[in-house]
Amino acid sequence: MGNAVDSVLLNDWYALAKVDELQPGTVVHRQLLDRDIVLWRGEDGSIHAWADRCPHRSVQLSGGQVVQNTLICPYHGMVYNAQGRCIKVPSAPNYVPPPQAQVLTYAVQEQYGLVFVCLGKPANDIPVFPEWEDDRYLKVLSGPHYCHTGGYRAIENFLDVAHFPFLHREILGDPALPVIEDYEVTIAANGVHFDNVRVWQPDPMGTGQGAYVTYRYSALRPLTAYLQKGNPAGECLAILYCVTPVSEEECTGWMWVAVNFMGPDQAEAALAFQDKIFAQDLGNLESHNPKRLPLNPKAEFHVPCDRGSLAYRQWLKQLGITYGVIS
């Protein structure tokens, strides 16, 4: 049915949980690239991401329980240590489990308050979010937002300004000023970049003040994008958008928003603003048919300001991506 998962995607990092929601002793199920994953945190605080399958009779380990730094399968109570090795068989205490009594384990990393997992051999670092370390910026996390569409459709929407006057009218665009002037697009080793995307916005920063703003966008990884927008007054808003491919036609988005013109007491307002924008995008995103992104330029028609999205599609093709796209 679906495509095999490309190594470029398997070797990348995806956010699966907030670090805070995984308190010691927690076990949760997630789906990533069509695979069932169990995330759990031992009582020593270490976080583990494993295939959610007990190698004994193939049930989900996410129905199990954490005891100290082990995970216990709900079916026959086998005990797995932090390395995924079966170390105890309750029905035969003296039996030494065979080599197959080993759960498939994955690489885990904590970054930006999120738990990132790589199902293959990590080929890249998690993309840098430059504003993260900058104390002048207030940071809020919008999401996770589940969306029944392919992850590339979500990234492409994030990179698209021409929809602002329509889907986000009165906030990010004005239907009376829908023209998008030409902007610079480059495809580089570290992704696709759009520079000098200039638009008038009635309320670009969620403060009620209209302004011309200039955007800079990057697709840093096939499913990770970044934007920075600023106005002449020096106000700046940046977003790191991490999209987790649940399946070829479903995704979950995590948006870290950083703003340099709001204080900690305005965190709720900053989050409400971003959530409102995403709520306007969601129904539209889910209405895409097909939900997978077509890489053949003839499959949909394009207008001048779609140069950026065409470059993104071209880059995905160059990377040899087949999962979640229509070639």
Least distance to ligand FES from the beta carbon of 52, Å?
A: 11
Contact pick of 18, 56, 88, 307 for ligand FES (by CB under 6 A): 56
Neighbours of 66 (CB within 10 A): 17
For residue 213, give Cα distances in angstroms to 35, 139, 156, 260: 41, 20, 20, 15
- Of the two residues 64 and 308, which places its CB atom closer to ligand FES in the complex? 64
Name which position in 54, 161, 205, 285 contacts ligand FES (CB under 6 A).
Answer: 54
Other CB atoms within 10 Å distance of the CB of residue 213 = 21
Output the smallest distance, CB 163 to Fe ion, in A.
Answer: 6
Provide the residue type at 195 as one letter.
Answer: D
Considering the complex, state which of residue 73 and residue 147 has its C-beta at the smaller distance from ligand FES.
Answer: 73
Q: Where are the beta strands (DSSP E) in the chain?
A: 14-18, 27-32, 35-41, 47-51, 65-67, 70-72, 79-80, 86-88, 105-111, 114-118, 138-147, 184-188, 191-201, 211-221, 224-230, 236-247, 250-259, 293-294, 325-326
**Upstream peptide bond of 98 is cis (omega within 30 degrees of 0):** no
Residues numbered 306-325 forming contacts with Fe ion, rule: CB under 5 A:
none
33 binds, among Fe ion, ligand FES, none (CB under 5 to 8 A by kind): none
Q: How many Cα neighbours within 13 Å face the side chain of 297?
A: 11
Tell me, residue by residue from 70 to 99, as one string, x for binding to ligand FES by CB under 6 A and - for no binding: ---x-xx-x---------------------
Q: Scan residues 257-286 and list those touching Fe ion (CB under 5 A).
A: 281
SS3 307: helix
Nearest to ligand FES of 32, 54 (CB atom): 54
Q: Please identify, using beta-carbon distances, which residue of 35 and 56 lies nearer to ligand FES.
A: 56
Q: Does 66 bind ligand FES (CB under 6 A)?
A: no
264 burial level (CB within 10 Å; 0-12, 13-18, 19+): exposed
Select from 29, 57, 136, 276 the one that contacts ligand FES (CB under 6 A): 57
| Residue 315 binds which entry of ligand FES, Fe ion, none, CB below 5-8 Å type-dependent | none
Tell me the site size for Fe ion, rule CB under 5 A: 1
Using CB under 6 A as the binding rule, whether residue 59 contacts ligand FES is answered as yes
In one letter, which amino acid is 121? Answer: K
Q: What is the token pair recorded at 272? A: 């409400």
Nearest distance in Å: CB 129, Fe ion: 20
User: Can residue 6 be called a binding residue for Fe ion (CB under 5 A)?
Assistant: no
Residues that bind ligand FES (CB under 6 A): 54, 56-57, 59, 73, 75-76, 78
